[in-house]
Amino acid sequence: MQTHNLGYPRIGKQRELKKACESYWSGKIDQSELLAVAQQIKEQNWQTQQAAGIDLIPINDFSLYDHVLDMSLLVGAIPERYEPLAQQSVLDLYFAMARGYQKEGLDLKAMEMTKWFDTNYHYIVPEFTKKQTFQLFGNKVFEEFAQAQQLRLNAKPVLIGPVSYLLLGKEKEENFNKLDLIDRLLPVYIQILQQLEAAGATWVQMDEPYLGMDLTDRERQTFLEVYSEIRKQLPRLQLILASYFECFHDNLTTALHLPVEVLHLDLVRCPQQLDQVLTHQDLGSQILSLGVVDGRNVWKNDFQKSLQMIQKAVDKVGSQRVWIAPSCSLLHSPYDLELEKNLQPEIKQWLAFAKQKLVEVVTLARLASGESSPELEQSLQENIQAHQNRSTSPLIHNPKVKERLSSIEEKDFWRHSPFKVRQQLQKARFKLPLFPTTTIGSFPQTTQVRQLRAKLKSGKITQAEYEAEIEKAILEAIRWQEEIGIDVLVHGEFERNDMVEYFGELLEGFAITENGWVQSYGSRCVKPPIIYGDVVRSRDLSVRWISFAQKHTQKLMKGMLTGPVTILQWSFVRDDQPRRDTAFQIALAIRDEVLALEQADIKIIQIDEPAIREGLPLRKKDWAAYLEWAIKAFRLAASGVKDETQIHTHMCYSEFNDIIEHIAAMDADVITIETSRSEMELLEAFVNFKYPNEIGPGVYDIHSPRVPSVSEIKHLLNKAIEVLPVENIWVNPDCGLKTRRWEETKISLQNMVQAARELRQRVLVES
Ligand code: GLN
Ligand code: ZN
């Protein structure tokens, strides 16, 4: 039984590529040094896959920044604004497209970036114009294929398929549909495939994840036409069509009609797909690649379950027509579990990272082929045992949590009184001016602050010394906010490495890895905590810091927490219970913290939910079910407090139009949102919907070091005043300030406070 892999992480086991790229960008190393690091990672990845026994190894899955950007370069879809860089090296052009270019009097904006389906990976969005042309440009895929051949690798080039490539892009002009470009794009793809075939490639993997998405009839038709043309032009090249992250649903017939040799199925996301395919009347003679090993999560594969599925397929189509694979590219998995030295052994035995997943794929294929050896038998037994252990381990299963979860009542999701009543009580209690000013939570995380945490971890300073330093930072931040004249203060989040990991470290049921990095975009990686068990709040999460801060100011100090959906969304989540149940467990823990803050006399508490929108399922039909529990999870966390305690929430990077009623249903007293980059356009949804509660539309973009002027901020605020009731408006930046420097932060916030003051004056005079 053949095995293959769809893609491998490329950031390097120790994030070598991250470091090399960043050194190259800052001019510390040159191109050849960067490329040498890249080459090393690539070869190491190939070698790891070969050593694991994978038959067909992906190439061109490696990327210096992003594989969609690689594709844009390969087909010459380079936006016109980069023309002035034509004389530069291809590498610098490539990085300019990814990151923008501000040098030699040029100021070229980067291409846009957006989430890769429902993952936390972000890709560079191809830009298309009506007159868009394509031509073979880069040669990365050919070079990599040649290198792989030299190493005698059984290599399979991976390309994003032409239809998905277009659908991933964005029209930069009106009056045309990106799909219209297929006639110009397809010849370039055919040329690429011909060159690969001429170079000796026998297999090519075409990634068409859009086959799992909601498609129009025309889009489905385009798939059929494109692949029949490719088939016509390349009758002998063997194609693997890979779709993942969703079921084919209504695209299944289309997928089965595509003239390819292998159809890959993501059986982790969509196990029911196996039966649907096997019993489908249009199933032809294609090989089925069974994606049974989860490429998106960290759990050890359940061999017994997978073997059952594989057997079912073998019974129906014969073992010659069955391949074994991970469900999707392993890009979304951390590198290697063996690098983890601090995980509890009991937990570690439940896990598999990318390197271990390769071995799982190979072991499954051997077991399914009926091979037998003591070593195989042992792998199987170990696997069975690990799963038995996991299903009953007291580390995971806490009867008290399960009981509390099952005794939640309807009233737990509701504040005592409706917003209008709460608003009056809060206004009377806080006596804030019109247009109260606040910030989103974090202040600049200086190297000094970050080093503090590192020093504590490595034992160079004691816990007491660490806490004293954090307290000092908080006190400075307080003085500083008081000086500027901010109305509702924050403590600055200096004690937090990351808004999710911080809580993961303190809550029971979470494990933190040392090296479980996953690429987020370009050189940026995230290290999601692993939620392995029932969640319990067994200690204080934030009260210690927030109440310290409140004690040192007469002003209102806002408590700062991360919401249950965001914690869920940015973690590796257990797969042995519905996501909803895990979200509710986290919500109960946060609820307890909210009440502890209230008990400690904190009167305003913010529960951040920046990830609510990105949790939306890929298919629209599944949205309602998700929103139902996601919104409830937030309300469960927020609703325990008294009417006069004010709950804030914060969201960023969001289109709100299609989910505004659900955002309103969260019933936070105040919501702060990102709006400045869109010149308040994002506010429209709130206006059209007549959003009832208070709202702080972000008045300046914190993603850039640029300092906004008073008049600019006033201009944006005036837009808000035109459409929202004045008594509902708050004034704040777009998001937290942790990536900024103090210098610019200070002037920006001064300008923000000044703008609010001037507007107050004006409105008071007018009324
Ligand atoms: N309170 C967090 C901060 O200020 C919010 C971050 C976010 O929205 N991503 O950093
Ligand atoms: Zn934000």
Domain boundaries, the chain: 2-392, 417-766
User: What is the DSSP secondary-structure string of 424-472?
Assistant: HHHHHHH-PPSS-BB--SB----HHHHHHHHHHHTTSS-HHHHHHHHHH
3-state secondary structure of 245: coil
Is 80 exceeded by the pLDDT of residue 92? yes
Contact 526, 496 (CB under 8 A): no
Is 80 exceeded by the pLDDT of residue 503? yes
Range with the lowest mean pLDDT among 232-246, 559-573, 650-664?
A: 650-664
| Ligand whose nearest atom lies closest to the CA of 702 | 2
Question: Whose alpha carbon is nearest atom 3 of ligand 1?
Answer: 736
Confidence band of 138 (pLDDT split at 50, 70, 90) = confident
pLDDT tens, 186-228? 999 999 999 999 999 999 999 999 999 999 999 999 999 999 9
pLDDT at position 652: 87
| CA 156/CA 285 separation, integer angstroms | 21
Is 90 exceeded by the pLDDT of residue 107? no
- Mean of the per-residue pLDDT values of the chain: 96
Question: Whose alpha carbon is nearest atom 6 of ligand 1?
Answer: 736
Residue-wise burial string across 315-336, b where 16 or more C-beta atoms lie within 10 A, e elsewhere: ebbebebbbbbbbbbbbbbbbb
Cβ–ligand 1 distance for 735 under 6 Å, the answer yes
Residue-wise burial string across 428-453, b where 16 or more C-beta atoms lie within 10 A, e elsewhere: eebebeebbbbbbbbbbbeeebeebb
Is 90 exceeded by the pLDDT of residue 676? no
| CA 675/CA 656 separation, integer angstroms | 11
Element (H, E) at 694: strand 694-697
pLDDT at position 719: 95
Cβ–ligand 1 distance for 671 under 6 Å, the answer no
Instruction: Using the structure block, give the residue that is written with the tokens 């209230």.
Output: 598
Count other C-beta atoms under 10 Å from residue 473's C-beta.
Answer: 21
CA distances from 618 to 264, 297, 657 (A): 19, 17, 17
pLDDT at position 104: 86
Instruction: Using the structure block, give the residue that is written with the tokens 């069955």.
Output: 322
Instruction: Using the structure block, give the residue that is written with the tokens 């960290």.
Output: 298
Close Cβ partners of 522 (under 8 Å, ≥ 6 residues apart): 21, 65, 66, 98, 99
pLDDT at position 566: 98
pLDDT tens, 288-312? 999 999 999 999 999 999 999 999 9
Residue-wise burial string across 87-111, b where 16 or more C-beta atoms lie within 10 A, e elsewhere: eeeeeebbbbbbbebeeeeeebeeb
Pairing assessment for the beta strands 127-128 and 694-697 based on DSSP bridges: unpaired
pLDDT tens, 721-759? 999 999 999 999 999 999 999 999 999 999 999 999 999
pLDDT at position 705: 82
Contact 466, 472 (CB under 8 A): no
Is 90 exceeded by the pLDDT of residue 452? yes
CA distances from 649 to 106, 494, 623, 624 (A): 39, 20, 21, 21
Confidence band of 23 (pLDDT split at 50, 70, 90) = very high
Cβ–ligand 1 distance for 736 under 6 Å, the answer yes
Instruction: Using the structure block, give the residue that is written with the tokens 């009731």.
Output: 725
Specify the CATH number of the domain 2-392.
3.20.20.210
Instruction: Using the structure block, give the residue that is written with the tokens 């005036």.
Output: 718
* C-alpha triplet 734, 736, 742: angle, nearest 5°: 110
Closest CA to 437 of 696, 103, 80: 696
User: What is the DSSP secondary-structure string of 486-511?
Assistant: -SEE--B-TT-SSTTHHHHHHSEEEE
Average pLDDT, integer, range 99-125? 92
pLDDT at position 390: 97
Cβ–ligand 1 distance for 696 under 6 Å, the answer no
Q: Which atom of ligand 1 is nearest to the CA of 610?
A: 8
- Residue 340 DSSP class: -
| CA 612/CA 635 separation, integer angstroms | 13
CATH fold for the domain made of 417-766: TIM Barrel (3.20.20)
3-state secondary structure of 101: strand
Are 2-392 and 417-766 the same fold in CATH? yes
Contact 560, 491 (CB under 8 A): yes
Cβ–ligand 1 distance for 440 under 6 Å, the answer yes
3-state secondary structure of 55: coil
Contact 205, 238 (CB under 8 A): no
Question: Whose alpha carbon is nearest atom 1 of ligand 1?
Answer: 441
The phi, psi pair for 671, rounded to 5°, reads -120, 135
Closest CA to 303 of 316, 295, 294, 315: 294
Average pLDDT, integer, range 619-648? 98
Cβ–ligand 1 distance for 442 under 6 Å, the answer yes
Element (H, E) at 535: strand 530-536
Pocket test for ligand 1, best of 499, 502, 702, 740 (most atoms within 8 A of CB): 499
Pocket test for ligand 1, best of 650, 652, 654 (most atoms within 8 A of CB): 650
CA distances from 13 to 9, 443, 462, 489, 703 (A): 9, 31, 31, 41, 29
Is 80 exceeded by the pLDDT of residue 570? yes
Give strand pairing partners of 59. Answer: 157
pLDDT at position 766: 83
Query: Within its chain, how far is the Cα of 86 from the centroid?
Result: 33
| Ligand whose nearest atom lies closest to the CA of 675 | 2
Cβ–ligand 1 distance for 138 under 6 Å, the answer no
| CA 158/CA 192 separation, integer angstroms | 11
| CA 494/CA 443 separation, integer angstroms | 7
| CA 337/CA 344 separation, integer angstroms | 12
Average pLDDT, integer, range 566-576? 97
Is 80 exceeded by the pLDDT of residue 767? no
Cβ–ligand 1 distance for 444 under 6 Å, the answer no
Closest CA to 671 of 655, 694, 640: 694
Is 80 exceeded by the pLDDT of residue 654? no
Q: Which atom of ligand 1 is nearest to the CA of 652?
A: 8
| CA 464/CA 471 separation, integer angstroms | 10
Closest CA to 414 of 606, 569, 593, 634: 634
Confidence band of 653 (pLDDT split at 50, 70, 90) = confident
Closest CA to 112 of 166, 172, 62: 172
pLDDT tens, 388-415? 999 999 999 999 999 999 999 999 999 9
Question: Whose alpha carbon is nearest atom 9 of ligand 1?
Answer: 610
Confidence band of 764 (pLDDT split at 50, 70, 90) = confident
Contact 569, 433 (CB under 8 A): no
Question: Whose alpha carbon is nearest atom 5 of ligand 1?
Answer: 736
| Ligand whose nearest atom lies closest to the CA of 703 | 2
Catalytic residue at 491? no
pLDDT over 90 percentage in the chain: 94
| CA 713/CA 751 separation, integer angstroms | 8
pLDDT at position 414: 98
pLDDT at position 251: 98
Close Cβ partners of 576 (under 8 Å, ≥ 6 residues apart): 390, 391, 396
Average pLDDT, integer, range 356-371? 98
Is 90 exceeded by the pLDDT of residue 763? no
| CA 671/CA 732 separation, integer angstroms | 11
Q: Taking phi first (over 0 means left), then psi (-120 to 50 degrees means alpha), and beta for anything else, what does residue 653 get?
A: left
